[in-house]
Amino acid sequence: MIKAIAVDMDGTFLNSNNDYDRKAFLELFKKLKAKEVRFVVASGNQYAQISSFFPEIWREITFVSENGGLVFEKGNLLIKNIIAKPIIQDTLTLLEKTSYKVGIILCGVQSAYILKSENADLKKEAAKYYFALKEIDSFQDLPDDEWVKIALQLEDKNAFSIIDLMNEKNNSQLKAVYSGHGSVDLIANEVNKGNTLNQLLNQWEIKPEQFLAFGDSNNDLEMLELAGYSYSMANASEQVTRVAKYQAPSNDENGVISTINALFDKLG
């Protein structure tokens, strides 16, 4: 029986209009609660952003944010996986030397940070995904915060080149993963959605074979590998489709909600 469900957001739970069928999901969520099935949002995005999509029920959802870097329950920080400040500084220095045009968002526990000198388009785009966002003068003198991720934005055609470069030149200090649409996240090597979700499952005494997960991008791979019931979206990357055991309809076809409803007899 399925006792926990985790969903990625962009390209998975959210449709192309950056929303979901709220009425249908609230009805489904009531059924999940009645069957005592835990619901987890697992995203590369910031907690302040992803929790805003669930105004009525956010206190009843577990949020795995920053690709597994932070976990929140009932508004409280439950798990944090911190990257040491010297590693952050070394990586920022390496990024400054790359020939690729890269926008940088530095992600901390308290806030995300972007340079005042960054272009207006990136600032506007960053504000969509980082509700707690501050502009700073330089990355040389870092704010008083703890660090969980460096988010990069660049032309999609260069995304895998920068991933190869960072994984080769960064002395294995951080791992570069593709989040889709020209977004690359630099996270601690041992941190990913799968490892963090495994921690939660252990705390909840739930086995991986009782776990259902949905994803579409490569930062979902470890989560899907963990899940006994793993679904790629019809719009997923080729690698995700190969890893997942099953396929759900696309994010624009209400794929997550319809699949959970179809599996209702296996819940609880």
Contact 103, 119 (CB under 8 A): yes
Task: Let me know if 19 is a catalytic residue.
Answer: no
Q: How many CA atoms lie within 13 A of 178 on its CB side?
A: 23
Q: Beta strands of the chain (E only): which ranges?
A: 4-7, 38-42, 62-65, 70-73, 76-80, 103-108, 112-115, 133-136, 147-153, 174-180, 183-188, 211-215, 229-233, 246-248
Q: In what order do the strands lie in the sheet with 62-65?
A: 76-80, 70-73, 62-65, 38-42, 4-7, 211-215, 229-233, 246-248
Give dist(CA 204, CA 200) in Å, integer. 6
Please give the DSSP secondary-structure letter assigned to residue 82: P
- Residue 154: name the closest of 197, 112, 193, 122 by CA: 122
- CA–chain centroid gap for 266, Å, is 26
Pairing relation of β-strands 112-115 and 133-136?
parallel
Crossing angle for the helix pair 255-262 and 22-34, to the nearest 10 degrees:
30
Catalytic residue among 8, 10, 185, 220: 8
Instruction: Determine which helix (DSSP H) or strand (DSSP E) holds 24, and give its type and residue range.
Output: helix 22-34
Give dist(CA 151, CA 27) in Å, integer. 35
Known catalytic residues are 8
